[in-house]
Structure 1
């Protein structure tokens, strides 16, 4: 395992050093405007997300995996549902001129907490969530990233009767802490 990791690291460093590739690591945070596609009428909630990202960029294509803590859920006549996830989106970014980009990719989520009011309802929800994410952004030349993204839940996260699929619109700002390459 150590040899494989060392080999991959050397290949990555070589690719960055001898090509147009760049690698950066950073932090990001922002607002979530969450709701759910469910059998009952729900209202959206406003919450937050935050975490870290890595970006591997070659010419006008980039791969950006992220690890984010995200508060999601919905309000209904039966009470609010607050879901906390550790989400791992893996975005493919297609770069346009001036750092503008279009993004798409899967997002994998792990449920860490589920509450309705102050009651623990984690047993009523599945431990994982699969979503598709689409968005647009701007990678500013001074290390800032601005992103708008819609995350569409594919999997039903409810353990009970009826569907509950997460829907989240995210606005975020990121900052590159480290960059290697162009």
Structure 2
């Protein structure tokens, strides 16, 4: 939570100082995009110390989702750089598919929703072309949203098994570095391609009660979005 507080204070500082210099350099807008996310080491976490997984395969598949929200673009006066604070809603997660030698299959999904707060430092080398670097902290809004389906006994045990994973795995907040490449058109439309690199463990396991192994499950997110800027405050 301290990270969120510091980002908010930093964003407010830049907004106030830049607005006092030249209000025409500040725009705001909305954006929406699609993402592809994955979590590292999730099969290893699930397998843990359970020997029944030895003659099986666990495959990570990633997950598609949505990212949308509000941004404030503050171009520094008489420069080609800008600070862009953002508040975003993101759907991300991971899917793991299990198969074994006797034909059992199941699919486990972690379906998380995040409130993302952060900011980008953007450089404009040529017209609307821009490069950005920043950091975002995500508050996990659905830490126990887990799906589970299997072909075992026609899914008879799916509800109990899903609850087992809900009790054993807890989604945590996510902190990620952001690398962005974008282009802003003169008619307020802009395009943005980003990669978010997670730097903290964002899936906690209850190792005392279950056979899961606690390790570093970090996020990796690719995002392509389209935004619209309003040039009148």
- For the superposition of Structure 1 and Structure 2, which TM-score range results when normalised by the shorter chain? 0.7 to 0.9
2:27 to 14, 20, 24: 24
CA shift, 1:107, in A, is 0.8
Q: Which moved more, 1:138-147 or 1:124-133?
A: 124-133
1:47 equivalenced with 2:53 (yes/no): no
Which is higher, the Rg of structure 1 or of structure 2?
Answer: 2
- 1:47-126 maps to which residues of 2 (within 5 A)? 47-58=65-76, 59-77=79-97, 79-114=108-143, 115-117=145-147, 121=166, 124-126=169-171
Check 1:117–1:39 CA distance in 2 against 1; reply closer, same or farther (3 A cut): closer
Check 1:67–1:128 CA distance in 2 against 1; reply closer, same or farther (3 A cut): same
Q: Please identify which structure carries the higher strand content.
A: 1
Q: Which residue of 1 aligns with 2:158?
A: none
User: Is the CA contact (8 Å cut-off) linking 1:31 and 1:46 kept in structure 2?
Assistant: yes
**Aligned-residue RMSD, C-alpha:** 2.4
CA shift, 1:116, in A, is 1.3
3-state SS of paired residue (1:164) = coil
TM-score normalised by structure 1 residue count: 0.84
Structure 1: stretches of 5+ with no match in the other structure? 1-7
1:177 equivalenced with 2:227 (yes/no): no
CA shift, 1:45, in A, is 1.1
Check 1:11–1:37 CA distance in 2 against 1; reply closer, same or farther (3 A cut): closer
Structure 2: stretches of 5+ with no match in the other structure? 1-13, 44-58, 98-106, 149-161, 206-213
Q: Please identify which structure carries the higher helix content.
A: 2
